[in-house]
Amino acid sequence: MTKLATNRKSTVEQFRLTSFFVSSSSHMVLKGVPIARNSYKVNSGKYIISVGINPTDVPVKPSIGQHWEVEGIRDITKTTQGDYEIDDYRYSNATLNCLMPASSEGFVRFIAAQKDFKDVGEKKARGLWARFQDRIYILLSEDTEQHRQELAEELTPLSIDAMYAGYEKYANLKAANWMVKHEIPYDIQQRLFKAHGKATIDAIKDDPYRLMTFGLGFARTDVLALGKFSIEPTDDRRLVAAVEAAMQKEVAKGHTCVDKPTLRKAVNSILKDSNLTGLALKIGENKVRYTFNSETITYHPTGQLLMEAVVAKRLVSLSSRDDLYTEVVNAAFVKAKGDLPYELTPRQCEAVMYSLDNSVACITGGAGTGKTTVLRTALRSFHQLGYTIHALALSGRAAMRLHESIGFETMTIAAFLRNQTITEGKNLVVIDEASMVDLPLMYRIITHIAPDVRILLVGDPNQLPPIGAGRILADVIASGVIVSTTLDIVKRQEGTTGIPEYSKSINEGIVPDRLTVGGITFHEAGNQADIAAICTELYAQSSHNSRVIAPTNKLVNSINDLVQCRVNGTGEPIMFIDGGNEWYTKMRKGDQVLFTKNDYVRGVQNGLLGELTDVSKAEGRLGVITLDDGKTLNVDNMIIEQLRLGYAITLHKAQGSQFPRIIIALDESRMLDRAWLYTAITRAEAEVHIVGSKELMTKVVKSPSHTSLRNTYLPILLTKYNNKENMAA
């Protein structure tokens, strides 16, 4: 490929799209043939047009046959197309607008080329243009009975449905092009259209900071508002938005409310003006998006406050329905207990009885304390009493492990929420690893089930808190409102791994006498390079049942690269073709892979693990991934952007799962604390390897964890609503 020239003057051209390819989440290439302005005719057969652009900067999703207008600076290069060499006019950092064809032939080709317009061929398209000309776009922009009657003069009802379905993404094209010029990303556009429809532009002009509600950050929104919309720095809308942005940052840290001094500091870091900060806090005490609580002197995002209130009211309501332990219930418990091959301890019996006696209860405890035994006994009792049991876990791997432990059908929380809501019958919802459930997820579970559905929370509050805001299990226990039983006796058995005793010692802030004992081995390593190298060798020694856990993405990426090179360096990579050239991805056949985003259409969760088992190309796919549960998933251009190597993962990705053999990379990080180490160790079923320095290990174990530093309002609400319930009784 030879570069011939660069035109430094901005050029405007129109082209018909002939192909496009998404090479990454931040780059795509549109290719087409030049056409005369407002025509379908090819302007020149001597060159093609290529436009490299961020997918977020297009007004509509590209589709073959569309007409586009590009404006920007171009480079002219030679490229091969078949047996011929042709000029390629390449645009980068350009502006793109999608245009509707303005001629009969252009419209016909546009309709015929796109799969979106099913059952509408060239003949029907030609008839539509002949009758309506460009008024066809008005008829298609709004699906009304009158418009359908007019279209029925040329089309069957089935074809009319197809036209409206195919034209749906173009209905707001004028507004979409306007938003591209105002540098509003595509994904934000789509959310705005869904919420405001034809009033989208007016909604943005009314308050540009509304863009934050739809996912645009404050910094970028502020630049647009001050520059494109001439908002004054002292505008109330800007100041309120700054307070909201500051609170969003705190929520991202796991808090559900923010005290005034912390919020003042956060707002000032955004506005960089103490006077504006004071004004912002004054005018923003009670806005729709957040609330100021004068009793606690805290600010609450409205969404978080609503969710905490709903969760608290439901749990308190359930807690008032106790004294359910009848003779029939006791008989079920005795039967379930009698089926066990060993005796329960008094505390374990207490945990089962409390769960049967109360409509909501908690069973907590560390590794090896018998939570699984208690849960299995309780669920067998509930089953005998005629309850339908919904046993939930965060990940697919965790759901499978839970099923093996309790013998009842299990599912992921995501799958449960996709099912129909529970409205009637005797039902029990069990949430395993409840310490990892955040406030939004608990809110969704609560609102998915009827008020009389019983709830049993099982978990370890000393583990790492959830990624999202809140700490449901810890808050519920701290409030003292919900009955809770803590299993605190580690039952030693001959031949066990020693992991329960080791993790219990760490949780109590006591450095184990021997860092290497039983199934735990400590490996001294002084720096990050040594840590990564040792972790790689340990993984290679037993690659079929191992996983590395590291505190930072940087270290995770480093170890993943080393492990891939060590155990799968010759694996066949995924290959795709773009512009006649072969391109290879980092992923190879045989790699362990991790999904980094939720994709509910494909049934994929953030944190899901699998193996790339096939890299052969087929229609619409680049390869195949076999997931932990044995199911397979085709890899396409969008899926591959969600994948990372999964030999090493962060602890948050491992939460809710266990692995036979865990290798822990112990390296300095703000994430690293006692709760992190405790949780990482308890991810192992049989064998643990800790790689790092003894000094850091000692420091981490002896220092208090960050778990208790989250500011939440749920304990106060639970106490408040419980007092009201007791007074009413």
| Residue 235 CB coordination number (10 Å) | 17
CA pair distance 117, 115, nearest whole angstrom: 5
- The pLDDT assigned to 494 comes to 46
Write down the pTM of the prediction.
Answer: 0.77
CA pair distance 375, 562, nearest whole angstrom: 41
CA pair distance 33, 29, nearest whole angstrom: 14
Q: Would you list the domain boundaries of the chain?
A: 10-99, 104-182, 309-487, 499-692
| Residue 426 CB coordination number (10 Å) | 13
Q: Which CATH number fits domain 499-692: 2.60.120.10, 3.40.50.300, 3.40.50.1000, 3.40.190.10?
A: 3.40.50.300
| Residue 496 CB coordination number (10 Å) | 15
CATH of domain 10-99: 2.40.50
Number of H helices, E strands in the chain: 28, 28
- The pLDDT assigned to 457 comes to 98
CA pair distance 194, 216, nearest whole angstrom: 16
Q: Which fold has domain 309-487?
A: Rossmann fold (3.40.50)
- The pLDDT assigned to 719 comes to 96
Helices 371-384 & 346-357, crossing angle to 10 degrees?
A: 40
C-beta separation of 329 from 465 below 8 A: no
- The pLDDT assigned to 100 comes to 80
C-beta separation of 270 from 246 below 8 A: yes
Q: Please determine whether the domains at 10-99 and 499-692 fall in the same fold group of CATH.
A: no
Q: Determine the residue type at 8.
A: R
Cβ neighbours of residue 679 closer than 8 Å, sequence gap 6 or more: 463, 464, 651, 655
- The DSSP code sequence of 252-303 is HTT-S-EEHHHHHHHHHHHH--HHHHHHHHHHTTEETTEEEETTTTEEEEHH
C-beta separation of 155 from 140 below 8 A: no
Mean pLDDT per 10-residue segment, the chain (729 residues):
59 88 80 74 72 85 85 85 80 84 78 74 86 85 88 88 81 77 82 84 92 91 92 93 92 92 94 93 74 89 94 96 89 92 91 96 90 94 96 85 89 91 94 94 97 96 88 95 90 68 92 93 95 98 96 96 95 72 79 85 79 86 85 82 92 84 94 92 94 96 82 96 76
- The pLDDT assigned to 353 comes to 96
